[in-house]
Amino acid sequence: MVTARRSAWVPHAVLIAGLLVVLFPLYIAAVASSDQSAFAAWVNAGMPTGTCTTGGGGGGGGGGSDGGTPDAGSPPPPDPLNDPPTCTSSSYWTSGNQGSSRMHPGVACIACHLTNGAPDFTVAGTVFPTGHEPDDCNGSAASGAVVTVQDSTGKTASFTANTAGNFYGTASLTFPITASLSFNGKTRAMATQVSSGDCNGCHTQSGASAAPGRITLPP
């Protein structure tokens, strides 16, 4: 009876062995060579133990855990508005009151123009890479930054900083206005409305009228 039972199982064993011969190579082929190499290295190293953790995102969708240590996320970059006083460009306007679009970065443009009979602007100011740069320091790193103002009726106007960081222009606006600054896909926005477009009048090196300092590129 025992012999008969063993004989009955022989065909099944042969069948299973045959399936393994056929399917095992297919399974191996489906595994990336890099994974095969990593597994072989682990075996050769004596199969050391490790620590596995699972994320809390559950199975399935994109953006979930990768099965490793959960990523706590990178801390936000430091805000250049809080940097100590410096002239980042190490270059200054040195041509006095000679008319130029690059003249006197950081100085209250509209007030100065009114005093000296120069062209009148609705909005003017200077964008700097950090928050406490001195007058006449060239804000070169802010070239191309876009300042957009919105008036009390919802109308907007935009002005682009030049190679000194200066921006200026005229527009039919109903004050007060708010403003935002965009640069390299990032934005910094004002939290309050203001009744003047002479931006450097408040955005001085140390800040005036509750302004924290210069108009500064976003972090």
Map tokens 């994320």 to a residue.
Answer: 55
69 within a domain of the structure (yes/no): no
Pairing between β-strand 215-216 and β-strand 123-128 as defined by DSSP bridges = parallel
Angstrom distances, CA of residue 108 to CA of 104, 115, 167, 197: 9, 11, 12, 10
42 within a domain of the structure (yes/no): no
90 within a domain of the structure (yes/no): no
Q: pTM score > 0.85 for this model?
A: no
33 within a domain of the structure (yes/no): no
- Domain span at residue 190? 104-216
Instruction: Count structural domains, the chain.
Output: 1
pLDDT at 63: 46
12 within a domain of the structure (yes/no): no
For the cut 50, the answer to whether the pLDDT of residue 177 exceeds it is yes
pLDDT at 38: 76
For residue 31, what pLDDT band results from cuts at 50, 70 and 90? Answer: low
* Neighbour tally for 38: CB within 10 Å: 11
For residue 65, what pLDDT band results from cuts at 50, 70 and 90? Answer: very low
pLDDT at 59: 41
For the cut 50, the answer to whether the pLDDT of residue 43 exceeds it is yes
